[in-house]
Amino acid sequence: MSIPASTRAERAFTRAEPDARRQSLIEACAQVLAHNGAAGTSVRAIALEAGVSPGLVGHYFAGIDALVAATYGQVEAQVSAALDSALAQAGTDPRARLDAYVTASFAPPIASGELLATWIAFWSLVRSRPDIARQHDEQYARFRARLEALLAACGVAPARLRHTAIAVTALVDGLWLELSLSPGAFSAAEACAIARAQLDALISTSRSAY
């Protein structure tokens, strides 16, 4: 009844470096999240996307939550790298650097409906899983700290640094979220213009507080 092994045309077994396999599972998870949404993201779908048997997911990750968390971590690293790249191309003028850092969030690969699915899936775990809440807090703190440095270089008063960074982070997050959720409401170019205008207003008033 069973098919003899000799008739197998496909190579179903390929061994990979553990790190590479982990990486491919993370990428498959991101793909499935982007295509099927959070509700349609299952171990089987991810394994299928990665071209791997379902059992292997459990071999590398404690559960699907851990895989989603790892995927979010990788997405965050990519976003961070994109911001770094924007910063590197911005030259030395403090204000230009700040603008580049902020507006990079509204261009690919950061502003993308596909990334949003990963973010939402991650957010849905924050409230119930303390470890994931900590991961989120760390990512948020990191983003804000870098923003504070850029703002300080633009002459924002130290006493206002914290609140200004929170404000800019909220603005960027809000614009990015809406841009990803419904691209028709306003354009990426508008988001950049809005953010720049807001930065103008914030920096001038904050500088006057010296």
Partner DNA sequence: ACACTTGTTATACGATCGTCCAACAAGCAA
Partner DNA sequence: TTGCTTGTTGGACGATCGTATAACAAGTGT
Residue 29 binds its own copies (CB under 8 A): no
* Footprint of DNA on 38-97 (CB under 7 A): 40-45, 51-59, 63-64
Burial of 146 (0-12, 13-18, 19+ CB in 10 A): middle
Q: Distance between alpha carbon 132 and the CA centroid of its chain, in Å?
A: 14
* Footprint of DNA on 18-47 (CB under 7 A): 18, 21, 40-45
Contacts of 2 (CB under 8 A, 6+ apart): none
Residue 182 binds DNA (CB under 7 A): no
Q: Which residue lies nearer to DNA by CB, 112 or 124?
A: 124
Interface with DNA (CB under 7 A), residue total 26
Phi, psi of 127 (to 5 degrees): -70, -35
Residue 187 binds its own copies (CB under 8 A): no
Residue 136 binding: pick among its own copies, DNA, none (C-beta 5-8 Å cut-off by kind): its own copies
**Least gap, CB of 3 to its own copies (angstroms):** 38
The one segment of 12-20, 33-41, 51-59, 78-86 that binds its own copies by CB under 8 A: 33-41
Per residue in 31-59, is it b (16+ CB within 10 Å) or e — as a string? bbbbeeebeebebebbbebbebeeebbee
The one segment of 10-18, 86-94, 149-157, 166-174 that binds its own copies by CB under 8 A: 166-174
Specify whether the CB–CB gap between 122 and 170 falls below 8 A. Answer: no
Q: Which of 43, 126, 152, 157 binds its own copies (CB under 8 A)?
A: 126
CA-to-CA dists, residue 184 to 105, 131, 160, 174, 181, angstroms:
17, 36, 34, 15, 9
Specify whether the CB–CB gap between 49 and 88 falls below 8 A. Answer: no
Q: Tokens 């909220």 sit at which residue?
A: 170
Structure tokens at 135: 């991961």
Residue 128 binds its own copies (CB under 8 A): yes
Q: Which residues bind its own copies (CB under 8 A)?
A: 37-39, 113, 116-117, 120-121, 123-128, 133, 136-137, 140-141, 163, 166-167, 169-175, 177-178, 181-182, 184-186, 190, 193-194, 197-198, 200-202, 204-205
Q: Which residues bind DNA (CB under 7 A)?
A: 5, 11-16, 18, 21, 40-45, 51-59, 63-64
